[in-house]
Amino acid sequence: MPPTPTTSDLTTLMNVGRAVAGYLRRADITEVRQLAGRDQVDIYDTICTVDGRRHDPCLLDTIMSAVDQANGNPARPWWTYTPTRKQLLG
C-alpha cells in the first residue's frame, strides 16, 4: 500500500530523496502536510535565500512535484513539471 500524503517522511514522495528533503528542511518543511497548499516558487526562493545562491531550476520542478502530491494529486516524475516551470518563470 503506498504511503498517504499525510506521512511525516518527505522521502515517501516521488522524486524526494535525502538531498531534496534536506533542501526542504532549509525552508522549515519537515513533513509532507506542510507542503499542501504552499507556493512552490516561494519554497524554492526561500531555499535559495538561505543557501545564498540560486539553485538549479530542476529543484523547483521537484518541489512542484512534491507540492502537487501533498495536495492529493498523483505522483509524476519531476521532469513533467519542467514545461510548467518554464512557462511560470517566463
Mean pLDDT by runs of 10 across the 90 residues of the chain is 59 96 96 96 98 97 98 97 94
Q: From residue 69, give the alpha-carbon distance in Å to each of 33, 35, 39, 44.
A: 10, 9, 13, 16
Q: What is the pLDDT of residue 90?
A: 84
pTM of the model: 0.90
Instruction: Note the pLDDT of residue 8.
Output: 64
Task: Report pLDDT for 22.
Answer: 96
What is the domain range of residue 66? 10-89
Q: How many domains does the chain have?
A: 1
Q: Look at residue 1 in the predicted model and tell me its pLDDT.
A: 42
Q: Which of 35, 33, 87, 37 is nearest to 62 (CA)?
A: 35
